[in-house]
Amino acid sequence: MKEKKVKNIFVQGPIASSFIADSIQKHSTKTSIGAHSIFIGQVRSDVINDRKIVAIDYTTYEEMALEKMHEIRESIFAKYPLTCMHIHHSLGVVASGEMCLFVFTSAIHRKEAIDACEEVVELIKKELPIWGKEIFEDDSHKWKENHYSEQ
């Protein structure tokens, strides 16, 4: 059995909307696909203790994160009959309002695409060693705590 190559999911800075649109458009020739499910994470401008978040600076232990993401990909492909799956996560500074996570799953039917997309997002939040430093408008910061749903 041929082992799949570990894919790099990381992009520097925000994920451009044109990149997302292009990713979707590239699938128009794959006519066996009946459904796509897309999750796009955007940096919120929360206010914490009267301080407004203006950006998040994402860091990771890249080798460990990519290996873990490979395991997650393999488990999702084993569980769901997907046609394809694409995952992109920002590293570095992403301003409020910009996109930081793009998960795109495709399948013959919508339920599999939707369920797989949701599960991937939850596993990324729960298991990947990615840290976000919330940067406030006064240049102070605090480390972000991920919240995820129990499945």
Residue 48 lies in a domain: yes
Residue 6 lies in a domain: no
11: which DSSP letter? E
Residue 80 lies in a domain: yes
Range of the domain at 107: 16-143
Task: Give the pLDDT band of residue 4 (cuts 50, 70, 90).
Answer: low
Q: What is the CATH number of the domain that holds 32?
A: 3.90.1170.40
Task: Give the pLDDT band of residue 151 (cuts 50, 70, 90).
Answer: very low
With beta carbons less than 8 A apart as the criterion, state whether 72 and 123 touch. Answer: yes
With beta carbons less than 8 A apart as the criterion, state whether 66 and 73 touch. Answer: no
pLDDT tens, residue by residue, 104-122: 999 999 999 999 999 999 9
Q: Which of 31-35, 42-46, 140-144 has the lowest mean pLDDT?
A: 140-144
Number of domains forming the structure of the chain: 1
pTM of the model: 0.90
Residue 1 lies in a domain: no
Residue 5 lies in a domain: no
Average model confidence (pLDDT) for the chain? 92
Percent with pLDDT over 90 in the chain = 84
Report the distance separating Cα 128 and Cα 72, nearest Å: 9
